[in-house]
A and B are shown apart, each in its own frame.
Chain A
Amino acid sequence: MPDPQRRVHNRLAVLRAERGLSRKQLADKLGINYQTIGYIERGDYNPSLELALTIAELFRLPIEAIFSLKPMTPLSEEIFREP
């Protein structure tokens, strides 16, 4: 049984900064309150599956590139990792 209190790690802040979006702009695109973006980024709120999928769709990335149960490694490290 999954623990609802378990932290879901995410790269939302990095992706948002990369695309030059403010929390308000991203929230408006997602149809949620801008504070919710901050809570998700800080790991204080785990988004629903529907919201997580909507975020993935918006960034055109697979959901596992944005959300993970394990701490996220820097994107550059993943891109340039030796095979």
Chain B
Amino acid sequence: MTTATTSRIEYLPRSRRRLLVAIALVGYPVAVAVLVAIKHTSLNRWLILAAYLLVLLPTLVTLAVSYRYARGRIDGRRARLDERDLSLRQQAYALSHRVLAAILVVATAVTEIYLTNGNTLRFDANTFWPVTMWVILYIPALPSLMLAWIETDQPADA
């Protein structure tokens, strides 16, 4: 990534960062829903894959931008984290935990309601891989996303 792009990412206003975080969080479930909807149609397999990747692309881009925004602070790679950075990191991890807990509670409740209504849940590769992908994509990225969400706009240089 060029220095100019990196600098633009670091100075993204909070409203734009929050939009990116929202796209990152919603993007993957939407991509999976699109895939499930078109998987059993007569569309060509490659076309289905292309459509899936096209829907998934904004998620991957926004995840990368959010990671770039928080990199160094969230993973502690920056040589010197001052007290504000440390406090922000702590808040980001705490919020990540709350968001993750909320998602797990909602997912468990929805599954429970689905099963209670007499439906069955087949636990095979087709069910498991979207969950695996979700875990791989989101669990490591959540703290960066939350840091990008909570940090206020940077003061103008003076």
Chain A positions within 8 Å of B, measured between CB atoms, are: 13, 22-23, 31-33, 35-36, 38-39, 41-42, 44-45, 47-48, 51
Q: How many A-B residue pairs have CB under 8 A?
A: 36
- Give Cα distance in the complex from A45 to B83, angstroms: 10
Closest-by-CB residue of A relative to B153 is A44
- Give Cα distance in the complex from A33 to B83, angstroms: 9
Is there contact, CB below 8 Å, between A33 and B80?
A: yes
Is there contact, CB below 8 Å, between A32 and B158?
A: no
Contacts of A45 in B (CB 8 A): 84
B85 in the interface (beta carbon within 8 A)? yes
Pick the contact of A32 from B82, B154, B157 — CB < 8 Å? Answer: B82
- Give Cα distance in the complex from A22 to B155, angstroms: 13
Closest-by-CB residue of B relative to A51 is B83
Pick the contact of B158 from A22, A31, A39, A48 — CB < 8 Å? Answer: A22
Closest-by-CB residue of A relative to B81 is A33
Contacts of A31 in B (CB 8 A): 80, 82
Closest-by-CB residue of A relative to B158 is A23
Cβ-closest 6 pairs across A and B: A38-B155, A32-B82, A36-B84, A33-B82, A44-B152, A42-B155
- Give Cα distance in the complex from A36 to B83, angstroms: 9
Closest-by-CB residue of A relative to B87 is A45
Is there contact, CB below 8 Å, between B83 and A48?
A: yes
Closest-by-CB residue of B relative to A48 is B83
